[in-house]
Amino acid sequence: GAVVSQHPSWVICKSGTSVKIECRSLDFQATTMFWYRQFPKQSLMLMATSNEGSKATYEQGVEKDKFLINHASLTLSTLTVTSAHPEDSSFYICSATHDSANYGYTFGSGTRLTVV
């Protein structure tokens, strides 16, 4: 079945540094990828939608200059949290699909980001 690998699983970084999170579709080509953020004991909030070869579409309230998304190939999307601050600490999850019209999404296992 469709597998999505997300790396790293967890990361701790210092305030002011940048962190890159990778989302890879291992056995299919993902035309569309989504990035979500999940606060403790809360639901997933969609941050942005990325389509291969085009700019990401950000949800209202999400700073695109802070959360840089690159979907350079059909198997890889990256989320870079720039100049991270403690309030950026969260659980980030990606999902990928090759069949967006039928909502055929597969989720990654998530990345726990802690900014100290």
Q: Which residues bind another protein (CB under 8 A)?
A: 4, 6, 32, 34, 41-44, 46, 49, 57, 91, 93, 95, 97, 100-103, 105, 107-110, 112
The least distance separating another protein from the CB of residue 36, rounded to whole angstroms, comes to: 8
Question: Which CB, 46 or 68, lies closer to another protein?
Answer: 46
The least distance separating another protein from the CB of residue 59, rounded to whole angstroms, comes to: 9
26 closest CA partner among 5, 51, 6, 8: 5
Contact between 74 and 60 under an 8 Å Cβ cutoff? The reply is no
Rounded to an integer, what distance in angstroms lies between the CA atom of residue 32 and that of residue 76? 10
